[in-house]
């Protein structure tokens, strides 16, 4: 029984990892995952419960795994996941300009005190 296939592939300047595994007769399915930096970009799960009684099950499952693994690689190279992978990140809203009331003063503390004292004297 083949445990799985793993490939690292460079695509558009980024490294991706494709992993395909067989879960075995007790849980007869093949799962392929496409990763970028530890994040799963896509997955495909195929059951083979309907063929577990075939005579050459190991060879059949291996062929299914290879095809599913290659299909994920083809889909990556065909740009199927580009909108998910390379989507522009939402930018933060530009900072709002503070209103005049809340704008920080460019005066030094001494200047502010002097201005306050002058206006108090005028009262």
Domain-embedded: residue 8:
yes
In terms of average pLDDT, the best of 41-50, 82-91, 94-103 is 41-50
* Residues whose CB is less than 8 angstroms from the CB of residue 115 and which lie 6 or more positions away in sequence, other chains included: 107
| Domain count within the chain | 1
Q: How confident is the model at residue 97, as a pLDDT?
A: 62
CA dist 21 and 51 (Å) reads 17
Domain-embedded: residue 68:
yes
Domain-embedded: residue 16:
yes
Q: What is the pTM of this model?
A: 0.69
The candidate with the shortest Cα–Cα distance to 66, out of 18, 25, 10, is 18
H helix intervals, 4-108? 57-77, 82-85
Q: Which residues pair with 33 in a beta bridge?
A: 19, 43
CA dist 43 and 45 (Å) reads 7
Tell me the residue range of the domain where 10 lies: 4-85
**Residue 1 or residue 62, greater confidence:** 62
Domain-embedded: residue 70:
yes
Domain-embedded: residue 64:
yes
pLDDT one-digit tens code per residue, 27-76:
999 999 999 999 999 999 999 999 999 999 999 999 999 999 999 999 99
Domain-embedded: residue 100:
no
């Amino acid at each position: 029984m083949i445990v799985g296939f793993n490939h690292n592939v460079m695509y558009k300047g980024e490294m991706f990892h494709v992993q395909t595994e067989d879960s075995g007769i007790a849980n007869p399915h093949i799962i392929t995952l496409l990763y970028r930096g530890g994040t799963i970009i896509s997955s495909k799960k195929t059951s083979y419960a309907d063929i577990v009684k075939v005579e050459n099950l190991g060879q059949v499952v291996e062929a299914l795994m290879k095809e599913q693994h290659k299909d994920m690689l083809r889909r990556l190279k065909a740009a199927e996941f580009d909108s998910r992978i390379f989507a522009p990140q939402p930018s933060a809203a530009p900072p709002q300009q503070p209103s005049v009331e809340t704008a920080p003063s460019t005066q030094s503390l001494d200047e502010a005190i002097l201005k306050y004292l002058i206006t108090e004297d005028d009262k």
